Amino acid sequence: MRTSLLTKVYTKLWWLQIILGAIFIAFGICIVLVPKENYVHLSLFFAIAILLTGVFEITRAIKNIPYSQNWRWYLFGGIVDTMVGLVFLGTIELTMQLLPIVLGSWIIFRGMLYIVLSLEVKRSEYATWFVLLFFGILIIAMGMLILIRPRIGTYTIVYATSIAFIITGVFRVTLGRSLYQHRLK
């Protein structure tokens, strides 16, 4: 039987998940504090966040080939994120116009990856796998809200993005906490 990705690699990096979670929560709160002015900043931040997430996912996928059967999903997600981030950094005006569609789709895609991760957590017998699954579903719901209501304006995008980032942060903190507790066993 293959050693789980979580027991081999993630447990050593439990603190990274908590740091990333705190960063996502902080950005989610910052985004909601000044919503109208933040649309331009959100476009730029979104491009940078997608690029950095892609680089992180590619690195994680490559390092975890021996430990995870799902490494191809993480690699694919990382490549998509990196390409989209680079395109959006080069064309911020286009990013602002396409933000509702791309942001909603990206958030849904990330939510699906989090669901895959929660199922991998379940195989490792973590008690919090269901909470992680729930957060993945909530993230998908926020992405769908952005796609369904893009014409309402910047407030829908800003608030749904803020909520999705906060949920993503809580997901990562919960995952990091679970990894830390598993490491103590």
Residue 19 or residue 3, greater confidence:
19
Q: pTM of the predicted model, to two decimals?
A: 0.58
For 151-160, the pLDDT digits (tens) are: 665 667 777 7
- The answer to whether 110 and 139 are in contact (CB under 8 A) is yes
Please state, for a pLDDT cut of 70, what percent of the chain lies above it: 83
pLDDT of residue 2: 45
**47-74: average pLDDT:** 81
d(CA 131, CA 158): 25
For 95-146, the pLDDT digits (tens) are: 777 778 877 888 898 889 889 888 887 777 666 778 888 888 988 988 888 8
pLDDT of residue 125: 67
Whether the per-residue pLDDT at 16 is higher than 70: the answer is yes
pLDDT of residue 1: 36
Whether the per-residue pLDDT at 8 is higher than 70: the answer is no
d(CA 43, CA 35): 12
CA distances from 50 to 1, 6, 14, 59, 151 (A): 34, 24, 22, 14, 23
Q: How far apart are the first and last CA of the chain?
A: 20
> At which residue do the structure tokens 């993630």 appear?
10
> At which residue do the structure tokens 């919960």 appear?
174
